[in-house]
A and B are shown apart, each in its own frame.
Chain A
Amino acid sequence: MAIVSRGFSGRRSAADVKLPPGQYLTTDFPVLSAGPTPRVPLDQWEFAIDDGSNVLRRWDWKAFRALPSETVTVDLHCVTRWSKLGTTWEGVSLDTLLAGIKTDAEYVLVRSYGDYTTNLPLDDLMNHKAWIAFRFDDEDLAPEHGGPARLLVPHLYLWKSAKWVRGMRLMQEDQPGFWESLGYHDYGDPWREQRYQGDE
């Protein structure tokens, strides 16, 4: 049972009804990362998909940017409780990147410059639910927000949308990533409020 906070009425708006439980609305774009912001020169950037033993696909920046891209407008929900609605991104769909790869893998470990990792079920990256994004609000993605390119998986808490991505591994077995090893939820659905380890 919640304890009523004597004298607290809170601030609420009609927009709150669209938010997942425990979130509040923000209009700016806070930053959360575990270490310094890596600076990745575009001529050294790459994105690779492997299965643990073989590299299945690899793109340099030029090849990556030559892929068909999509512009999407999505809501963001950070585990630190802010939500930002209607953000517009340009990116390459994971469906495009994974096209033609035959695999029985069920999980993915995404890795970043700066050694960050995060894990997701492969299904959560398919069917136009995830992108490698390189533009935000009609501008090249700033380094502190994950540029040159970041994963965008808006239906999960934002820590799953790894910044500064460099590749991903297809896996049969789930393997926790960085925050998932440090007390945060393995899946991270904001609508079920899966913030921390053990949340239902």
Chain B
Amino acid sequence: MAGTAVSGRRVIWRVGTVVAFHDETATARTITLEIPDWPGHVSGQHVDVRLTAPDGYSAARSYSIASAPNSEGRVEITVERLLDGEVSPYLTQELAVTDRLELRGPIGGWFVWTPRQTEPVQLIAGGSGIVPLMSMIRSRAAVGSTAPFRLLYSVREPGAVFYRDELQLGADHSHCVGITYAYTRVAPKNWPRTPGRIDPALIASATWPSNLAPTCYVCGPTSFVETAAGLLAAAGHSPDKIKTERFGPTGDRK
């Protein structure tokens, strides 16, 4: 079981300054924060972000960290705007560069990847579930790890892909991350697979076989994670090698 970056240390609220934005899709925005006293994080961890109204009312939600661990005190989160959300519309539409934002973290010691791990890794993302997995891909690239990575990334349609250019670039390099996209509603022209949910055939063709004993990280909406984790278990992966992170329909998570 992985160790934890928060072990034995109180997780305090810190103040970050917004230094940049990048729109990933029509509804998702990456926010880059500079946090001078950031204690560092491990890929896969998340932060709690807190907004406070002038009268003291506050609301907080958890967001996965998208950036690789770094020594510059920079943290990126990617936030998907939820129509009925309380926090995500503010973060994706109101927040401006130079605004200050309160956050607490890093949090979580289970759904994490560190460069010490050399075994094959299977990443499976549903929608915005790509965020913590992107941190793992970035961390692997940053340290020059040659741990064999594959990514199966399920999205509604081509326009819903986060980090498109960077993923493409990474896939073209040596020691590349093997990427398979799966589309649930609309696929690009001449795409070999009919749009639909992930299934056993896709798992068989796009993921590491269980005899390689990869560590599997599955992140996405609850129903997606239930399906993907079930398919991995059915394909012979040991349940203790399948790590999951789920977010419910109402959660602003990620």
Contact = CB atoms under 8 A, between A and B. Distances in A.
A36 B107 contact: no
Interface stretch (B9-17, B153-161, B170-178, B194-202): B9-17
Chain B interface size band reads 35 or more
Contacts of B191: none
B248 A29 contact: yes
B248 A28 contact: yes
Contacts of B9: 197-198
B240 A183 contact: no
B60 interface: yes
A11 interface: yes
A32 B244 CA distance: 9
Contact of B248 (A9, A26, A183): A26
Given A182-B4, A183-B11, A198-B11, A10 B51 contact: yes
Nearest to A29: B248
Given A2-B58, A24-B86, A31-B222, A183 B250 contact: no
Contact of A35 (B51, B56, B101, B242): B242
Contacts of B94: 6-8
Nearest to B230: A36
Interface string A94-112: 0000000000000000000
Interface in A121-159: 144
Contacts of A31: 222, 226, 246, 248
Contacts of B253: 80
A185 B100 CA distance: 28
Contact of B99 (A6, A38, A115): A6
A20 interface: no
B60 A2 contact: no
A74 B59 CA distance: 23
A181 B8 CA distance: 10
B52 A196 contact: no
Interface in B86-145: 86, 90, 94, 96, 99-102, 104, 107-111
Contact of B8 (A9, A29, A197): A197
B250 A115 contact: no
Interface residues of A, number: 41
Interface in A157-200: 178-179, 181-183, 196-199
Contacts of A86: none
Given A4-B53, A8-B51, A35-B229, A183 B99 contact: no
A72 B81 CA distance: 36
15 contacts: A5-B51, A8-B52, A22-B58, A22-B60, A28-B248, A31-B248, A33-B244, A35-B229, A36-B233, A36-B244, A37-B230, A81-B61, A81-B251, A196-B107, A198-B8
Interface of B: 1-2, 4-11, 15, 48, 50-54, 56-62, 86, 90, 94, 96, 99-102, 104, 107-111, 222, 226, 229-230, 232-233, 239-240, 242-244, 246-251, 253
